[in-house]
Structure formats: structure tokens, C-alpha cells
Amino acid sequence: MTEPIDRSYRALFSIPDLGQVVLSMQLARIAQAMVAVALVLFTLAEYQSAELAGLVVFVSIFPGIVISPIAGALLDRHGRVRLIGVDYVVALSTMLLIGGLSLAGLLNPALLLLIAGISSLTAPLGQTGLRSLFPLMVPEQLWERINAFDSNGYVLASILGPPLAAAMVVLFGPQIGVMAIAVPYGLAALALIGVHEPPSVVVTTGRILRDALNGLRYTIGNPTLRGLAFAISSVNLAGGVTTIVLPLLILDRLGGSELLVGLAFGLSGVSGMVSVFLFGRLDTRGREWRMLVYPMLGLMPVTAFMLAANSDPAVALPVIGLGLIGVTMLLVGALNGPLDIALFTIRQRRTDPAWLGRAFSISMTFNYAGFPIGAALAGVLAEVDLNYAIGAAIIASGLAAVFAAVLVPREERPAGPQSDRDR
């Protein structure tokens, strides 16, 4: 008789070095969640400009998206663990630089944008390195379990990071609030000490730019990765809009505090954590398409609650507006649970292991491209009318559902070129 396969969380954490990697991931995710809120609150406090806040978020992400093919090639050729650590050190340094220069009175908007842009350049190494490390360390029967932890790494970060960042800004000022982000980044780098690089098979030409270009070709030629790029980037566009809209709605329209901004983002993390662990217990094979499309459809009416929170009656009685925001964020978190599990698992199953670094780097950054675009767009639209920005988020959620339904194959298809040796 064949022994039953152990798919438990206990079996997952019997894997050597995995506990350290998960700890490092969690610390880094908390830092990343703090960055998004702290930079917005810092910019609004120092320069009183929603447009500049949106632009800061944009440049803190977009340059990394542009160089993601090169980052993926580096991960495939030179190992993931050490390059993840490099990203954490760069992120730590740039946060200290922003806060320190501001305290010294030497930080102007142009320099802020430059440092934020530099911080984004190594981000694909940390984010993609972790995501592509898991399928190399973990057997396939435990992918749903590790993906639940992976997704909940973001969820837990969204519970702890935004309120922590907001509290630091309120208690110690925006400069110290930004500089404090260096602490979890430093601890994340230390947690990786002693982690062994897992063995992997790599398809390479020996030339970094050629490898990066071939990774781009592979990703575009993979029907699932191509469809996800359109669908998830649209979802993230809505998320980028929310990053700017929510602080403006709470601070300017409803007269709330920075701490309430952090707590609002944290609510989505609470419901998301429950949702992710529930769906992480499922075998997602044959269910991924539905777990992608249906939550995206649900995000449209949920996002529309923010229109009601911005209405005159809600503004006249802020407790109504704040309550609507709370409901919105709870539902957003719950919907993101199945969406994340399906996204992570379908990408793992439909990517050739020899292309994990490049394909994941390009796919993840393309997927995330909507976030900085949404933040920049929201900053511009909010200067005219906050409802325009909220409307953009609703439209983006609807487009995401359409793209996922039409472009992501229900069943696995051939994943594009498997070798670049003849190119």
C-alpha cells in the first residue's frame, strides 16, 4: 500500500531552513507594508501635496519593474538567498537616508523622488527571490500550504505594518517614522544568515542581457503568465488608488487621524488572514480560474462603498463614513484570500522550474505595475475630485475580472519556449 501524502503544516516546517526564510520574509513584508503608508504620510506632512505623494509611491516601485528581467536573470544565475539580503540592505539604507536628510533640512522633492527610485531598483531581488525560492525548497504537495504562509505574510504585514508606521509618525514625527522601517529590514537580513541555497536547474546563455531577454520572451509566450499580467496589474491599479484615496478620505474628508489610516489598512489584513488560511487548506487544482475571477468581480461593489463614505451625509456624520471604510477593508481582505492562493499556485504549476527566477521576476513585477500607476493616477484625480479616483479603482477591478476570465486559460497549456540555446 502507498502511504498517504502528508500535506500538513507540520510537514511543511520540517523542511530545513524554511523557518528562517519564512521569518525573514515576514519581517521584510512588515517593513514593505510600513513603507507604503509611511512615505505617503511623510510626503503629505512635509509637502502637503497628494500629487507628490502619488508620484513618490510611483517612483518607489516603477524603476524596479523596468529592470525586473535583469533581476530575474541574476536570481537564476547567482542564487537567491544572498541577493535577497542585498535588497534588504539597500532598502534599509534608503529609508535612513530619507529620514536623516529631512531632519537635517536637506531633503527637497526632487531628492526624495531620486532616493525613492533608487530603493526600487533592488526590490525585484527580494520580492521575486523569496517567491521563486519556495517551489525549490518545498515539494509540490505542500505548495498550497506554503502559499498560504506566503500570502499571509502580506496579510500579517498589512495588519501590523500600516498601524505601526502610522503610530511612529504620530508619536515621533514623519522623519523618525520613515527611519524606523530600517529596523525590520535589518532583522530580515540577519534572519537569512546560514540559509543554504537550494539546488536548481537553469537555462542560460552565459550572457546576462541575453538571459533577461529570453526570460521576457518566455513570460510573454506563457499564456497563463501573460493573462495574469493583465488581470493582476488591474487589481493592483485599484490597490494603488486605495493607498492614496484612503488617507485623503480619512484625514481630509472625515477628520480622522493618521492612526485611523493605519487601522483601516490593518482591518483588511485581519479578514485576509482568516480567508487565506481557510483557502490554503484546499487543493486548488481545477479551481484556480474561479478563485481568480469571482473575487475580482466582488471587488467592484466593495470598492464602491468608498463612494458612499465620501458622500455628504457620511462626511457630516464621520462615524458613518469610517464605518463604511471599515466594512470596505474587511471585505477587500476576505476577497484577496482566495485570489492570492490561486495566483501563487497557478503561477508555480505553469512555470518551467528552469525559468523560475526570470519568469517570476517579470511576472510579479508586471502584475504589480498597476500599483504605482494607480497611486500616481489617484494623486492627480484626487486633486480634482476624490470620487474620480474611487471611480478609477472600481473600473480597474471590473477590467481585472474581464481579463482573468478571458485571458487566463482554465486548463494548463504549453508554456512557450523551453530552451534558448539556439538563439
Q: List b or e across 384-401, with b for residues whose CB sees 16 or more CB atoms inside 10 angstroms.
A: eebeebbbbbbbbbbbbb
Q: Which three cell numbers stand for residue 178?
A: 520613515
In three-state secondary structure terms, 423 is coil
The rounded distance, in Å, linking the Cα atoms of 37 and 32 is 9
Q: Where are the alpha helices (DSSP H) in 250-317?
A: 258-280, 288-309, 312-316
The rounded distance, in Å, linking the Cα atoms of 199 and 53 is 42
Report the mean per-residue pLDDT for the chain.
84
The rounded distance, in Å, linking the Cα atoms of 164 and 175 is 14
Please give the share of the chain, as a percent, with pLDDT higher than 90.
33
> pLDDT tier at 50 (50, 70, 90 boundaries)?
confident
Among the residue ranges 76-80, 161-165, 213-217, the one predicted with the least confidence is 76-80
Domain positions in the chain: 18-191+207-407
Q: Which residues contact 406 (CB under 8 A, 6 or more apart)?
A: 227
User: Smallest Cα–Cα separation from 91: which of 130, 128, 125, 67?
Assistant: 125
> pLDDT tier at 1 (50, 70, 90 boundaries)?
very low
The third-level CATH classification (topology) of the domain covering 18-191+207-407 is Growth Hormone; Chain: A; (1.20.1250)
The rounded distance, in Å, linking the Cα atoms of 28 and 37 is 15
- The yes-or-no verdict on residue 414 having pLDDT over 70 is no
Residue found under cell 527610485: 117
Q: Between 21 and 93, whose confidence is greater?
A: 93
Q: Which residues contact 1 (CB under 8 A, 6 or more apart)?
A: none
CB 218 within 8 A of CB 416: yes
Q: Which three cell numbers stand for residue 155?
A: 496579510
Q: List b or e across 28-50, with b for residues whose CB sees 16 or more CB atoms inside 10 angstroms.
A: bbbbbbbbbbbbbbbbbbbbeeb
CB 195 within 8 A of CB 20: yes
- The yes-or-no verdict on residue 90 having pLDDT over 90 is yes
Q: Which three cell numbers stand for residue 326?
A: 471599515
Q: Which helix (H) or strand (E) holds 322?
A: helix 318-349
Torsion of CA 22, 26, 27, 33, to 10 degrees: 160
Q: Phi and psi of 39, rounded to 5°?
A: -65, -40
Q: pLDDT, tens digit, for every residue of 356-412? A: 777 777 788 788 888 888 988 998 898 889 999 999 999 999 999 999 999 999 876
- The yes-or-no verdict on residue 423 having pLDDT over 70 is no
Question: What was the pLDDT predicted at 351?
Answer: 84
The rounded distance, in Å, linking the Cα atoms of 329 and 262 is 11
> pLDDT tier at 285 (50, 70, 90 boundaries)?
confident
Listing DSSP states for 212-257 in one string gives HHHHHHHHHH-HHHHHHHHHHHHHHHHHHHHHHHHHHIIIIIS---
Question: What was the pLDDT predicted at 421?
Answer: 30
Question: What was the pLDDT predicted at 113?
Answer: 94
With 0-12 / 13-18 / 19 or more C-beta atoms within 10 angstroms meaning exposed / middle / buried, residue 119 is buried
In three-state secondary structure terms, 182 is helix
Q: How many CB atoms lie within 10 A of CB 2?
A: 4
